Amino acid sequence: MTTRGIELEQSLGFQLKLLQVEADARAREALSPFDITPARVSALMMIKSNPGCTQTALGDALSVNRASAMKIVNYLEGRGFVERQTSADPRANALQLTDSGRTELDAMTRALHTCDQETLDRLSASEAEILLRLIHKLRTAA
Amino acid sequence: MTTRGIELEQSLGFQLKLLQVEADARAREALSPFDITPARVSALMMIKSNPGCTQTALGDALSVNRASAMKIVNYLEGRGFVERQTSADPRANALQLTDSGRTELDAMTRALHTCDQETLDRLSASEAEILLRLIHKLRTAA
DNA sequence: TATTGTTATACTCTATAACTATA
DNA sequence: TATAGTTATAGAGTATAACAATA
In a domain, A14, yes or no: no
Q: How far is CA B131 from the centre of its chain?
A: 18
> pLDDT confidence of B5, banded at 50, 70, 90?
low
Chain A residue closest to B53 (CA)? A1
Average pLDDT (B80-108) is 98
Q: Helices marked H in B12-142 — which ranges?
A: 12-30, 38-49, 55-62, 66-78, 99-120, 125-140
Q: What are the residues whose beta carbons fall under 8 Å from the beta carbon of A138, sequence distance 6 or more? A: B19, B119, B120, B122, B123, B131
More confident of the two residues A140 and B52: B52
Q: Is the pLDDT of residue A10 over 80?
A: no
In a domain, A125, yes or no: yes
Residue A77 lies in a domain: yes
Tell if B73 CB is < 7 Å from nucleic strand D: yes
Does any domain span residue B114? Answer: yes
A103 assigned to some structural domain: yes
8 Å CB contact of A16 and B21:
no
Residue B106 above 70 pLDDT? Answer: yes
Averaged pLDDT of chain B: 94
How many structural domains are present in chain A?
Answer: 1
B142/A22 CB distance under 8 A: yes
pTM: 0.93
> Is the pLDDT reported for residue B10 higher than 90?
no
The closest of B120, B8, B123, B130 to A13, measured between CA atoms, is B120
Report the distance from CA of residue B133 to the C1' of nucleotide D12 in Å, as an integer.
33
Residue B5 lies inside a defined structural domain of this protein: no
What pLDDT, on a 0 to 100 scale, did the predictor assign at position A141? 81
A116: containing domain: 36-140
CA-to-C1' span, A88 to C14 (A)? 42
- In a domain, residue A84? The reply is yes
Would residue A31 count as lying in a domain? Answer: no
pLDDT at res. B7: 66
pLDDT given for residue B109 in this prediction:
97
Question: What is the structure's pLDDT at B2?
Answer: 72
DSSP state of A37: -
* pLDDT band (50, 70, 90) for residue B140: confident
**Which CATH number do you get for residue B66?**
1.10.10.10
pLDDT at residue B6, rounded to an integer: 55
pLDDT, one tens digit per residue, over A94-113 is 999 999 999 999 999 999 99
pLDDT tens digit string along B54-73? Answer: 999 999 999 999 999 999 99
Tell whether the model's pLDDT for residue A85 goes beyond 90: yes
For residue A49, give the nearest of B4, B57, B116 by CB distance: B4
- Residue A39 beta carbon within 7 A of nucleic strand D: yes
